[in-house]
Structure 1
Amino acid sequence: MDRFLAHEPWQKPHDPLTDAERAELRETIARLRHPRIVEELCALAATHPRAEIRLSVLQGVEPFLATHPAAREFLVWLLGDDEDFVVFGAARIAGRHRVGEAYEELLHITGPAEAGLFRSTKPVGIGAAVVAKAMDRILGAEDRAARLGLEREHAASGQLPPQCALDEHWDYDPQNLPRPAPQDMVHIPASDFVVGIGMNDVVHPLYDVDDAVPRQMCHLPDFLIDRHPVTNRQYDRWAGGPQAAEHALCHPDEPEGKDHRRGIAGDARFGPDHPATGVDWFDAYAYLAHLGKRLPTELEWEKAARGDSGARYPWGDTFDPDALRWFGASFTQPRSLEHWRDVLSTFDDTTPPATTVPVGSHPKNVSAYGVADLVGNCWEWTDTNFFTRDRMKPMISGRPRTEWATAEETSVVIRGGAWTSMQEQVTTYFRGKDLFTDRHNEIGFRGVIR
Structure 2
Amino acid sequence: MSILLLFCCTPVKIDTSDTFVDDTGMLDIDGDGYFSVDADDARIDCDDSNPAINPRTHRYIPAGTFIRGWEHNHDTVPVTEITLSSYCIGVYEVQNKDFIVFMNEQRTLGWENTTQDGNPLFDFEDNDDPYPERILDNGTTYTIQEGYENHPVVEVYRWSAQAYCVWAGHQLPTEAQWERAARGDDGAMYPWGDDQADCSKSNYWPQNPPQEPCIDDTTPVGSYDPGAWGLYDMAGNVSEWVEDWYNVNYYEQSPSQDPTGPENGWAEDAMNPEGFVAATARGGSLGSGSGSLRSFHRVPEPFEATSNGLGFRCSFFVGE
Same fold (TM > 0.5): yes
In the alignment, which residue of structure 1 is the partner of 2:73?
209
In the alignment, which residue of structure 1 is the partner of 2:63?
190
State the one-letter code of the partner of 1:187: Y
Does the aligned pair in 1 maintain the 2:197–2:290 contact within 8 Å?
A: no
Structure (1/2) with the larger strand percentage? 2
Please state whether the residue corresponding to 1:316 is helix, strand or coil: coil
1:424 aligns with 2:291: yes
In the alignment, which residue of structure 1 is the partner of 2:205?
327
Aligned 1:200-279 pairs, distance under 5 A: 208-242=72-106, 246=110, 254=117, 256=118, 258-263=119-124, 264-265=133-134, 271-279=148-156
**Deviation string, structure 1 residues 254-297 (Cα, Å, up to 9, x no partner):** 5x3x3323423359598221111110101101111101111111
Structure 1: where are the runs of 5+ without partners?
1-176, 199-207, 345-351, 396-404
CA drift at 1:439: 1.2
State the one-letter code of the partner of 1:334: N
1:309 aligns with 2:178: no
State the one-letter code of the partner of 1:186: R
Does the aligned pair in 2 maintain the 1:269–1:353 contact within 8 Å?
A: no
> Taking every aligned residue pair, what percent have the same amino acid on both sides?
26
CA drift at 1:179: 4.2
CA drift at 1:354: 3.6
Please state whether the residue corresponding to 2:222 is helix, strand or coil: coil
**Deviation string, structure 1 residues 55-75 (Cα, Å, up to 9, x no partner):** xxxxxxxxxxxxxxxxxxxxx
Does the aligned pair in 1 maintain the 2:175–2:243 contact within 8 Å?
A: yes
CA drift at 1:323: 0.6
Mapped to 2, the partners of 1:195 and 1:294 lie a distance apart of 21
Mapped to 2, the partners of 1:385 and 1:270 lie a distance apart of 34
Does the aligned pair in 2 maintain the 1:392–1:412 contact within 8 Å?
A: no
In structure 2, do the counterparts of structure 1 residues 239 and 213 end up closer, same or farther at CA, with 3 Å as the change threshold? farther
Structure number with greater Rg is 1
CA drift at 1:353: 8.0
Mapped to 2, the partners of 1:303 and 1:382 lie a distance apart of 13
In structure 2, do the counterparts of structure 1 residues 237 and 301 end up closer, same or farther at CA, with 3 Å as the change threshold? same
Mapped to 2, the partners of 1:244 and 1:276 lie a distance apart of 21
Mapped to 2, the partners of 1:178 and 1:406 lie a distance apart of 45
CA drift at 1:242: 3.0
Mapped to 2, the partners of 1:270 and 1:415 lie a distance apart of 26
Does the aligned pair in 2 maintain the 1:380–1:444 contact within 8 Å?
A: yes
In structure 2, do the counterparts of structure 1 residues 243 and 219 end up closer, same or farther at CA, with 3 Å as the change threshold? farther
In the alignment, which residue of structure 1 is the partner of 2:8?
none
Does the aligned pair in 1 maintain the 2:189–2:295 contact within 8 Å?
A: yes
Does the aligned pair in 2 maintain the 1:380–1:414 contact within 8 Å?
A: yes
1:434 aligns with 2:301: yes
- Higher RCO, 1 or 2 (CA under 8 Å, sep at least 6)? 2
Structure 2: where are the runs of 5+ without partners?
1-45, 125-132, 137-144, 251-259, 266-272
Structure (1/2) with the larger helix percentage? 1
Does the aligned pair in 2 maintain the 1:383–1:392 contact within 8 Å?
A: no
In the alignment, which residue of structure 2 is the partner of 1:178?
47
CA drift at 1:251: 7.4
Under a length normalisation based on structure 2, what TM-score does the superposition of the two structures give? Answer: 0.64
**Deviation string, structure 1 residues 327-385 (Cα, Å, up to 9, x no partner):** 13xxxx534xxx96xx79xxxxxxx984100000002xx22311111000000001111
**Deviation string, structure 1 residues 29-81 (Cα, Å, up to 9, x no partner):** xxxxxxxxxxxxxxxxxxxxxxxxxxxxxxxxxxxxxxxxxxxxxxxxxxxxx
Please state whether the residue corresponding to 1:239 is helix, strand or coil: helix
Does the aligned pair in 2 maintain the 1:274–1:358 contact within 8 Å?
A: yes
In the alignment, which residue of structure 2 is the partner of 1:318?
195
Does the aligned pair in 1 maintain the 2:115–2:121 contact within 8 Å?
A: no
CA drift at 1:243: 6.0
Does the aligned pair in 1 maintain the 2:115–2:160 contact within 8 Å?
A: no
Does the aligned pair in 2 maintain the 1:235–1:287 contact within 8 Å?
A: yes
**Deviation string, structure 1 residues 409-436 (Cα, Å, up to 9, x no partner):** x301110000011011111111111011
In the alignment, which residue of structure 2 is the partner of 1:360?
222
Does the aligned pair in 2 maintain the 1:228–1:446 contact within 8 Å?
A: yes
Aligned 1:20-419 pairs, distance under 5 A: 178-179=47-48, 182=54, 183-198=56-71, 208-242=72-106, 246=110, 254=117, 256=118, 258-263=119-124, 264-265=133-134, 271-321=148-198, 322-328=200-206, 333-335=207-209, 354-363=216-225, 366-387=226-247, 389=250, 391=261, 410-419=277-286
